[in-house]
Each structure stands twice: as C-alpha cells, then as structure tokens.
Amino acid sequence: MRVRVPVGGDAPYDVVIGSGLTGEIEALVEGASRVAVVHSAAQQVAAAAVLRALGRRGHPLIVPDAEAGKTVEVAASCWSELARLGFTRSDVVVGVGGGAVTDLAGWVAACWLRGVRVVQVPTTLLGMVDAAVGGKTGVNISAGKNMVGAFHSPAGVLCDLDALDTLPTPDYAAGLAEVVKCGFIADPAILDLIEADLSAAGTPGPLSPELIRRAVQVKADAVSADLREAGRREFLNYGHTLAHAIEQAEGYLWRHGDAVAVGLVFAAALGRESGRLDTATAERHVAVLQGLGLPTSYDAPLASLMPAMRIDKKARGDRLRFVV
C-alpha cells in the first residue's frame, strides 16, 4: 500500500510512503540526461537500487556519513563532480540516506546553476518525517548547525518503509522525537497511538506507516502555508533552539532526535513556567519521551549553550525566541 501526502505551495510535490518505491524514480527524473545520487558508504545498498533504476544516467557521489558530510567542503567536492560530469539545468540530484545526506543533497542542488531538481529518498525515520520534507537544505559551519543553506523544494520525496527494517533501534527512537513533536504541536492522535503501546511504537512495525503519515501531514500542512518560515512553519521548530545548541556543544556526536527530545522537555518547562502550558502536559512530554528510551535532560550549564542559541534562526536582533 502506498500513501501520497501532497505538499502545496509554489512548487508542489508528493511525499510517497510505502514499500518498494524505486519505480517512482523514473517519473521524477524525466528529461534528465544525468542524475547524481548522493549517499554515504553506509547507504550503499539503498543507493545501488536507485542507481539500477536510473541505468546509465546514474552517477554515484559518495560523501562522509552523518554530520561529517554536512560541510561546505563536502558540498564543494560535489559541485566539482557535477562540473566534471557536465551537469546542466535539466539534470537531477538524488539524496539517499538520513537527514544529513538529504540536507546536503538539497543544498548542492539548490546552488548548482542556481537551482536544479532534487529528489529525496530518506532511509531513516528522522529523514522521512522531518529532514527530507519541506525544502530546507544546508550545511553546518563552526558557528552552528544549518547556518548556511537555502529553501529549495524537492521534486518528490520517497519514504520507502523497507529501509527501516535495518535501521538501528537508537536511530529509530531518535526519529520518534520528531514524531512526538508533531503530536504535541498539531496532531494529538500521534501521542495516543504511541502511549497505547510504547513498546510497539519504539520499533519499526505495524504502527510505523500511520505514525509517519501523520507526522508528514503535519509538516506538509505547515510548509504548504509557509515555505520560508515566516509564520506558521516556525512551530515546527518546537524544541529545536536548545537542541541545535546541544548538538553544536557535543561536536554533532549526539543524534539530532536525542537533542530534540531534551529540547522538547525544556520548551515544555518554559511554557509551564510562563503560564502557557499546564503541568500535566509538561509532564506528559517527559513520560512519552522517556517511555521511548529518549533522553530528557542534558548535564551542562545553560549559560554555556547561550551563545549558540543567540544565533538561532528564530532569534531577532538581541532577542532569543522559543516556540512554547
């Protein structure tokens, strides 16, 4: 069974959720003579399936895994390869991997010749429900996470559930932090599904398609109305101000979802202290996230994280802003 979640806006596209989605690639790269498949060595199997579907048009671009690949230097190496291959504006970049790879692939595509098509094939839960959907692309620099990038909507996103079968449990749990976030900001049915059976929700299985569909729908609704994060889309950053600061402090060795889990609890506490959130809901944040095996605290002085938070994308002038 395949589900299509449409994302509206100036450049609409579909997020396809299901199994065995390689056949969807052909329509998304129509008219291209060359297709660069950006992936890490860890995603060799998934990338090989895409390359087989592309035939002679496909060209692998192997990049470092995880956040190590999200750098200006790695992006520049990709552009050099596109130049060597003779990529034109009718050609396509495909990102195969987790959120770091899809972020990188999207930015490579956004900048090459001022914008070529990108197709995202996320292979992690976090990539499926967050990074690959919405058109945010970018890389990290020493000053912070995702500080350099662009909004560049994909031509399509293919969430092949088969990829989750081999995803390590900690990585799946980290992706669930973004799913839980969607439950708290827009779709409480997500929380009900998870709380009904925390054990089942914590691993790939029968609940996965529905949780992914609901989380993608939350993001699609926000992005369709506000691609460039001028209003409604900012709510998707719930928990992320502290999360990005933690990731930077830890040298990007923490999983993004783990940092988001801590950030959600912190944002809920801010909401409670400011009178915007009731105590029961704040405590529910902790209970759900801990039930999924995610961290809910971080052992460091808040002051040590302030410099990173002050240049967060939600900051305005000298004012630090949180979604609560």
**Which residues, in sequence order, are bridge partners of residue 14?**
6
Same domain, 111 and 218: no
Whether residues 23 and 46 fall in one domain = yes
Of 164, 193, 223, the residue at which a domain comes to its end is: 164
CATH number at residue 43: 3.40.50.1970
| 179 and 74 in a common domain | no
Are residues 191 and 99 part of one domain? no
* pLDDT higher than 70, residue 101: yes
Mean pLDDT over 253-279 rounds to: 96
Mean pLDDT of the chain: 94
Q: Is 315 inside a domain boundary?
A: no
Per-residue model confidence as pLDDT tens digits over 270-289:
999 999 999 999 999 999 99
Q: Using the predicted structure, report yes or no on whether residue 262 has a pLDDT greater than 80.
A: yes
Distance of alpha carbon 109 from alpha carbon 93, whole angstroms: 6
The pLDDT score that the predictor gives to residue 314 is: 66
- In one-letter notation, the amino acid at residue 93 is V
Write out pLDDT tens, residues 119-147: 999 999 999 999 999 999 999 998 888 89
Same domain, 143 and 199: no
What pLDDT is attached to residue 317? Answer: 59
Does pLDDT of 257 surpass 90? yes
The yes-or-no verdict on residue 197 having pLDDT over 90 is yes
Which structural domain range is residue 295 located in?
168-203+205-310
Does a structural domain hold residue 103? yes
Does residue 319 carry a pLDDT above 80? no
Residue 169 CA, distance from chain mean position: 18
- For 209, which DSSP code? H
pLDDT reported for residue 53: 96
Residues 286, 139 within the same domain = no
Is the same domain home to 272 and 187?
yes
Do 7 and 97 belong to one domain?
yes
Task: Identify the residue with better confidence: 61 or 315.
Answer: 61
Per the domain annotation, does 322 fall within a domain?
no
pLDDT at 312 over 70: no
pLDDT for res 263: 97
Q: pLDDT (tens digit, 9 = 90+) per residue, 1-58?
A: 899 999 999 999 999 999 999 999 999 999 999 999 999 999 999 999 999 999 999 9
The model's pTM:
0.93
The answer to whether 40 and 64 are in contact (CB under 8 A) is yes
Q: Give a yes or no: residue 318 inside a domain.
A: no
**317 found inside a domain:** no
Q: Based on the fold, state whether residues 144 and 191 are members of the same structural domain.
A: no
Question: Edge-to-edge strand order for the sheet containing 35-40?
Answer: 3-7, 13-18, 156-160, 117-122, 92-97, 35-40, 58-63
Distance CA 78, CA 74 (A): 6
Number of domains in the chain: 2
> Could you tell me what percent of the chain has a pLDDT over 70?
96
Is position 13 within any domain?
yes
How many CB atoms within 10 Å of residue 18? Answer: 16
pLDDT tens column, 145-165: 889 999 999 999 999 999 999
User: Lowest-pLDDT range, 171-175, 230-234, 297-301?
Assistant: 230-234
Q: What is the DSSP letter of 278?
A: -
Which CATH number covers residue 304? 1.20.1090.10
185 with 298, same domain: the answer is yes
Is residue 187 domain-shared with residue 287, that is, in the same domain? yes
Q: Which amino acid is at 113?
A: L
**Catalytic residue list:** 114, 136, 178, 219, 229, 233, 237, 240, 244, 256
